[in-house]
Amino acid sequence: MTSYRSSLLKLLDERGYIHQVTDAEALDVLASKEVVPGYVGYDATAPSLHVGNLVSIMLLRRLQQAGHKPIVLMGGGTTKVGDPSGKDEGRRLLTPEVIAANIASIRRCFERFLHFGDGPTDAIMVNNDEWLSGLEYIPFLREVGRHFTINRMLTFDSVKLRLDREQPLTFLEFNYMILQAYDFLELSRVAGCRLQMGGSDQWGNIVNGIELARRIDGTEMYGVTTPLITTADGSKMGKTASGAVWLNPDQLSPYDYWQFWRNTQDADVGKFLRIFTDMPLDEIARLESLQGAEINEAKIILATEATALLHGRMEAEKAAGTAKTTFAEGGAGADLPTFRTGDGISILAALTGLGFCASNGEAKRKIAEGAVRLNDVTVNDPALMLSAADEPLKLSLGKKRHGLLVR
């Protein structure tokens, strides 16, 4: 660990958030003597963010905990363009109405992690459509576009990936990095923002914004990026066989969110407790040192604490109780995910309806592997039809996935 003076960089460093800092010494001095407004940008392509966004959300939380001001920048304008970063191909363009509805839905998630208000360290949410939609194209290109060379833009991973794969990259998307840099400049003007934070893939974009602000306004700006959060087996954190781990409860239940964290690999428990919970570091050190079956205690604590941050303590305890009933006591907790059978349903439709399998083909393979159980009895027939029943049926896939089939 580096020796920092400011509570901000100390906190980020000791909890494992820092990958790169543009000028660590200068930022450390600034954060030691004044409130630093810092932002992370989010596009509004869906009604909910997902667990892949959680590191940056926690970054904003840590910023506020250290006595600084979080700025949540919603990309109402840039969502109309499309960010090529990490994408293999262009995405469909959304209407302004859909974008506005997505932003309203996403805000509810941030209200769990940040305190919003008018105070010096209260979080604010800003929409870049406020300035991007009013830009006059030719004057914008003359003022801002001249600071960007095509040579350098072609070196960006987000561009190279698409070109190397001979996949189309539209001129609209190619402009995204200019708009993101302009966001940083504009936020420095309207909100005194001095810091941009994001994942390691955003390093080039952050540096672009810093250089643009220095050239046009002479303002010193800073950037912090987090490491790519991977699991112990090297896979990208947050990717599951059943799809995205959404943060909004109407897209993923608190119980399923709890289960996602409960299924953490042993070697990741300490890292995830530091990054995704507010637990004290000495207690985290104790938990990650547990061996054998005792590490499950730490996983349950991780799941409960992470769920409490997002969904509240009551939902977290309820999810933990349901899991205990289901796994330890062999019952079927009432809070398990449910799927309605109507007058009857095939076992394949039940498995896909609960989200346990992505397709009927996958469901058939799981049955052939002996991984599917109905009321704790192994299912062997992929053609099995389930008739409507007054009592819920417990459907299980493997040892960790359980759901209820109700009429």
Q: What pLDDT was estimated at residue 288? A: 92
338-406 CATH, one of 3.40.30.10, 3.10.290.10, 3.40.50.2300, 3.40.50.300: 3.10.290.10
What 245-248 contacts at long range (C-beta under 8 Å, 24+ apart), as own/partner pairs, is 245/50, 245/51, 245/52, 246/48, 246/49, 246/50, 246/51, 247/48, 247/49, 247/50, 247/51, 247/53, 247/54, 247/109, 247/310, 248/47, 248/48, 248/49, 248/105, 248/106, 248/108, 248/109
- Which DSSP string corresponds to 329-393? S----TTS-EEE-TTEEEHHHHHHHTTS-SSHHHHHHHHHTT-EEETTEE---TT-EEEP-SSPE
Q: Which of 9-23, 34-48, 186-200, 358-372 has the lowest mean pLDDT?
A: 358-372
Tell me the C-alpha distance between 226 and 392, whole Å. 45
Q: Do the beta carbons of residue 43 and residue 75 sit within 8 Å? A: yes
More confident residue, 83 or 133: 133
What is the pLDDT, as a whole number, of residue 137?
67
Rounded Cα distance between 272 and 260, Å, is 12
The C-alpha angle with vertex 400 and arms to 396 and 404, in degrees rounded to 5, equals 35
Give the distance, in angstroms, between the CA of residue 112 and the centroid of all CA atoms in the same chain. Answer: 14
Residue 81 near residue 172 (C-beta atoms within 8 A) = yes
> Identity (one letter) of the amino acid at 193?
C
* pLDDT at residue number 396: 85
Give just the sign of the alpha carbon dihedral 20, 245, 111, 271. negative
Q: What fold characterizes domain 7-226? A: Rossmann fold (3.40.50)
**Percent of all residues in the chain with a pLDDT value above 70, rounded to a whole number:** 87
Q: Tell me the three state secondary structure of residue 138.
A: helix
Q: Name the band, by pLDDT with cuts 50, 70 and 90, for residue 86.
A: very low
Alpha-carbon span 379 to 377, nearest angstrom: 6
Please tell me the predicted confidence (pLDDT) of residue 387: 74
Give the class (CATH, top level) of 253-328. Answer: mainly alpha
Q: What share of the chain is helix, strand, coil (3-state, %, to 5)?
A: 50, 15, 35
Read off the tokens for 366. 């799981």
pLDDT band at 84 (very low <50, low <70, confident <90, very high): very low
Residues 6+ apart with CB under 8 A from 388: 341, 342, 343, 344, 407
117 pLDDT band, cuts 50/70/90, is very high
* 277 three-state secondary structure: coil
Judge whether 7-226 and 253-328 match in fold.
no
Least confident of 79-88, 233-242, 255-264, 394-403: 79-88
Token pair of 330 as six digits: 């062999």
Q: Does the pLDDT of residue 157 top 60, yes or no?
A: yes
Give pTM, 2 decimals. 0.78
Q: Which comes out higher in pLDDT, residue 337 or 9?
A: 9
Q: Which three-class secondary structure state does DSSP give residue 285? A: helix
Buried b (16+ CB within 10 A) or exposed e, 139-153: ebeeebeeebeeeeb
Taking each continuous run of H as one helix and of E as one strand, the counts in the chain are: 18, 15
For the chain, first and last CA: distance in Å?
A: 56
Q: What percent of the chain has pLDDT over 90?
A: 52
Per-domain boundaries in the chain: 7-226, 253-328, 338-406
